[in-house]
Amino acid sequence: MKYEVILNVLGGLLRFLGAIMILPLLVAIYYGDSPYPFLVAVVITGFTGILLSARYKSSEEWKTREGFAIVALGWLAAAIFGSIPFMLDGISPINAIFESMSGFTTTGATVLLDIEAHSRSILFWRSLTQWLGGMGIIMLFIAILPKLGVAGRQLFRAEAPGPTEDKIKPRIRETAKILWLVYCSISLLEVIALLLAGMSFYDALTHTFTTMACGGFSPYGLSIAAFNSPLIEGIITLFMFISGANFALHYRTLYTDRKSLVKDDEFKFYAAVTLIATAILTFSLWKDMGETVFTSFRYAVFQVVSIMTTTGFATVDFNLWTDSAKIVLLAVMFIGGCAGSTSGGIKVVRFLLLLKYAQRALFKSIHPRAVQPIKFNNKTVPDDVMQAIVSFVVIYFMIFAVSTGLLSLMGMDIVSSITASIATLGNIGPGFNLVGPMANFDVVPFIGKILLIGNMWVGRLEVFTVIVMLTPEFWRR
């Protein structure tokens, strides 16, 4: 393990993060908020980055281990230093780190008791952390720093969400730049659409940040319900759905092959699950809750897409829904969006391939000698990829089970424990009962918050990136 390389790159990442903090500082000046939290944060973060970069210099070639360490520790460092403005705004250290980690991991779980009581600049920073974390602050780092060169491949491999990395261009830096260009372009379209729908520029910008990142933070305690606008809900639903799809496919659809999305097996399965879940939930709300068909569909499509893409916005308190309606949302919590998207969760492609794997197992039980390869987009899926998927899901559910059990031992009811665990591990945001959409995670005990911070970190980095760091072999030189 080349520690000098890791610390040098982390120094560059902190310098970059310190520079980004100038944006909310300007927002604070514009709205007349106290600039103190961001002035201090810029100085501390930037100075720490400069010290690390100056103290640890290395031109050695990176290996995979360094890439994993930089991504995992980079996300942790971003959450810790990103919490400084929250602490200086009067939020306790553990709550500040929780909120910052929830932002950078695009989870959207909050511990703020009165969101509107905080300044516009603080809430702007809260939303901006999600936008940065959505496509990946490490990916942005790769895109703007050419000195990373070939070593950027290790970072991309460690940070890319999904079972395999999806390179658009041979050079990783070019791939990162293209993905960020697509990300920024679609973000601009959403800002324009929300402005035309009647939002203020501030609201349009902050909600675009968190929609595109599949994050779910809102400057309002009532989330999207604060606007009570079917048009705004429709626009946000559309952009949540877009953000839950593979951004590499968005690029190919725009520039190389117009049918890339509709030909992709994962996207078709993603769309099918969304439609089926929406139909079931619409029927449940209409039948059991006495809502009109239009209102039932309005609530159903928004909440299904919001939870499926792990965004976590809310237009209604679904804590008050019947168990049959809640079970639909719980089911899609475990799926998540597509690989290569900004969403969290297990990912659609893993569920699709596991279904094909199970189907093959059933087929071979009848025809033991038959050879039936698993196909994805008309290509055979290698056995090592399938083994990695099975391992991922097993470890994912083990973490979920342990997390749920520990929260229960801390005195939380079982429903709150289950949904708090999956909501943080899957980077979803709200759960049920004590951690419902109109509640917050402040009710979680101190140790429980530390546990859930770990869940968010592990879940955002696809489990292996963090778990592998717990093995002794990883740290040996």
Separation of alpha carbons 47 and 9, rounded Å: 14
Q: How confident is the model at residue 344 (pLDDT cuts 50, 70, 90)?
A: confident
Going from the C-alpha of 32 to that of each of 29, 38, 205, the distances in angstroms are 5, 13, 19
Q: What amino acid is encoded at 231 in this protein?
A: L
Cβ–Cβ < 8 Å for 48, 81: yes
Quote the Cα angle for 203-44-119, to 5°: 25
Say whether pLDDT at 229 is over 70. Answer: yes
Cβ–Cβ < 8 Å for 138, 38: no
Quote the Cα angle for 76-164-237, to 5°: 75
pLDDT in tens, 243-259: 999 888 888 888 887 88
pLDDT at residue 262 in the model: 84
Separation of alpha carbons 161 and 434, rounded Å: 30
Q: What is the pTM of this model?
A: 0.91
Say whether pLDDT at 152 is over 50. Answer: no
Residue 88's CB is within 10 A of a number of other CB atoms, namely 17
Length of the chain counted residue by residue: 477
| % of the chain residues with pLDDT over 90 | 60
pLDDT at residue 20 in the model: 94
Helices 3-20 and 22-31 pack at an angle, to 10 degrees, of 20
pLDDT at residue 69 in the model: 84
Cβ–Cβ < 8 Å for 26, 82: no
Classify each residue of 216-255 as buried b or exposed e, where b means 16 or more C-beta atoms within 10 Å of its C-beta.
bbbbebbbbbebebeebbebbbebbbbbbbbbbbbbbbee
Separation of alpha carbons 375 and 404, rounded Å: 35
Give the mean pLDDT of 455-467: 87
Burial class (CB in 10 A: 0-12, 13-18, 19+), 347: buried
Written as six digits, the tokens of 286 are: 């209409």
pLDDT at residue 155 in the model: 46
Give the mean pLDDT of 469-474: 78
- Could you tell me whether strands 379-380 and 375-376 are parallel, antiparallel, or unpaired per DSSP bridges? antiparallel
Separation of alpha carbons 342 and 211, rounded Å: 10
pLDDT at residue 389 in the model: 86
Give the mean pLDDT of 60-87: 86
Written as six digits, the tokens of 279 are: 């139909």
Going from the C-alpha of 198 to that of each of 76, 128, 192, 230, 270, the distances in angstroms are 37, 21, 10, 12, 30
pLDDT at residue 373 in the model: 85
Q: Where are any strands of DSSP class E within 335-415?
A: 375-376, 379-380
pLDDT at residue 341 in the model: 85
pLDDT at residue 156 in the model: 47
Say whether pLDDT at 164 is over 80. Answer: no
Q: What amino acid is encoded at 82 in this protein?
A: G
Least confident of 65-69, 200-204, 316-320: 65-69
Least confident of 278-282, 286-290, 339-343, 468-472: 468-472
pLDDT at residue 439 in the model: 80
Separation of alpha carbons 357 and 336, rounded Å: 19
Least confident of 149-153, 268-272, 427-431: 149-153
pLDDT at residue 161 in the model: 53
DSSP codes of every residue in 272-291: HHHHHHHHHHHHHHHHHS--
Give the mean pLDDT of 175-184: 83
Which is nearest to 158 in space by CA: 66, 60, 58? 66
pLDDT at residue 171 in the model: 61
Classify each residue of 148-182 as buried b or exposed e, where b means 16 or more C-beta atoms within 10 Å of its C-beta.
beebbbbbbbbbbbbbbbbbbeeebbebbbbbbeb
Backbone angles phi, psi at 476, to 5 degrees: -75, 140
Which residue's entry shows tokens 């400084």?
84
Which is nearest to 67 in space by CA: 17, 163, 143, 1? 1
The mean pLDDT value of the chain amounts to 88
pLDDT at residue 255 in the model: 81
* Residues 6 or more apart in contact with residue 127 via CB below 8 angstroms: 103, 205, 206, 207, 209, 210, 215, 217, 219
pLDDT at residue 149 in the model: 45
